[in-house]
Amino acid sequence: MNRADETFQVSEIISRYVLGSMTESEKEELDGWLDRSPRNKLLFEELVRQEVASGKILAYGRVEWEGALKELLEQKKKLRLAGRKRRIIRLGSCAAVLLFACMGIWFYYIQTGNALIGEGEVHKEIPKLLAGKPQATLQLASGKTVFLTSDSSRRLEPEYGVEIRQDSGVIKYQVAEVQGGKEEQYNMITVPRGGEFTLILSDGTQVWLNAETSLRYPVEFVGNERKVYLEGEAFFDVTHDKQKQFVVETEKAKVQVYGTAFNVYAYPNEYEVVATLVRGAIDLKERGSGNRIQLEPGEQGCLAGGKLTKREVDVDMYIAWITGRMVFKSICLGDMLKHLARWYDVNIVFTEERLKEVSFTGEVKKYDDFTEVLDVIESTQVVRFRIEDRTIIVY
């Protein structure tokens, strides 16, 4: 039996093992394969361990499998395996399991250039690339710097009559005493690559900050408006106050509201500023000009090259990151990996520019190890990845 033939056969048997539909003859065949080499046992255990068999396959189920299955079967045909008589495995969850098992073995052979795992071969461990976590740096008005992580809950020293408390991955401001006639004093929170943090401002507005993001804001809002300054991406759930407009100012644009929920994407090195409205109403305005557009729920406004446009969107795609998911629809691989690189704090290198334009639709769990996310993408058979320390090579 050649390498490709055995790859598909073993994958199919493992898929039936995971689904609990393996026959006695298949069990004997699997036992024989496991006894052939300790490395076969290691690979089998890795493929069927609980977190993979549940979480990873469920994640795979969110990829568009029809194309992947078609491609896989086409490869099988090219390898002259189509003529083999086998039971047809029904589509659905079984198709995902078959592909998951087959890709686990098949990509191993392709990447290592080895035959089926045999005696005397050295197992190369794939490094773990852990997901981001709550972490930030808080610059107080006094000049003091505080490092924030999810491991601590504490009360910081009050500033200008405002209490500042940290509860795990959330920092909260609360006005302890009203002081009239004072000037606004600013704090700045900076979230690094591989980080996130949640902030509750003194007016009760809640802000979710994504990786590589900074927000400058008053300790207490004074005057006729509530203005904050954003670089990066944040989701705002603004406390309603018809007397005080809430303004998010970025390098190129302003978002003006009174009480609403919306997402702003405004990284300083990006070509466009994007605002996505979930609830209420907002104005998106170009700084330094009178150009503006008003958005209604379910709409997204974009400022690019001095031009303002808007369109209807599925807002879940743009706010899923605050609920532990990342949702992508017909997105270029280059753009998708740019988002993921910020969260996982890795570098991405494409061996060919054309690979950046590959389109991807799917959903991944934000807190999964990045190697599992790469497995989901790689399972489509469009691209492959090689991990070198914290650099991901796309080829």
Tens digit of each residue's pLDDT (9 = 90 or more) over 280-336:
999 999 998 889 999 999 999 999 999 999 999 999 999 999 999 999 988 999 999
Tens digit of pLDDT for each residue in 113-155? 444 444 444 445 566 899 999 999 999 999 999 999 988 788 9
Q: Do 314 and 361 belong to one domain?
A: no
- Structural domain boundaries enclosing 358: 325-394
Q: Span 85-109, mean pLDDT?
A: 43
Q: What's the predicted TM-score (pTM) here?
A: 0.71
In a domain, 119, yes or no: no
Q: Is 338 among the domain residues? A: yes
**Domain end position, chosen among 270, 289, 318:** 318
- Are 314 and 180 members of one domain? yes
Token couple for 272: 């466009």
* Domain boundary pick from 112, 146, 177: 112
Amino acid, single-letter form, for residue 289: S
Strand-pairing partners, residue 394, are 350, 385
Dist CA 228 CA 217 (whole Å): 5
N- to C-terminal Cα separation, the chain: 30
Give, in order, the Cα–Cα distances in Å from 323 to each of 157, 326, 341.
31, 9, 18
Burial tier of 180 (Cβ tally within 10 Å: 0-12, 13-18, 19+): exposed
Per-residue pLDDT tens digits for 256-288: 998 899 999 999 989 999 999 999 999 999 998
Question: Residue 181: its pLDDT value, please?
Answer: 58
Here the tokens at position 240 are 């309603």
Q: With a cut of 80, say whether residue 245 has pLDDT above it.
A: yes
**Chain centre to alpha carbon of residue 210:** 10
Q: State how far the Cα of 351 lies from the Cα of 349, in Å rounded to an integer.
A: 6
Residues 102 and 203 in one domain: no
Residue 117 placed within a domain = no
Q: How many domains does the chain fold into?
A: 3
Domain assignment present for residue 127? The answer is: no
Claim to verify: residue 91 and residue 185 sit in the same structural domain: no
Tens-place pLDDT, residues 199-240: 999 999 999 999 999 999 999 998 889 999 999 999 999 999
One domain for residues 299 and 219: yes
Of 315 and 65, the structure prediction assigns the larger pLDDT to 315
Do residues 301 and 309 make contact, with C-beta atoms less than 8 angstroms apart? yes
Domain match, 75 and 147 both: no
Q: For 76, list phi and psi in degrees, rounded to 5.
A: -60, -40
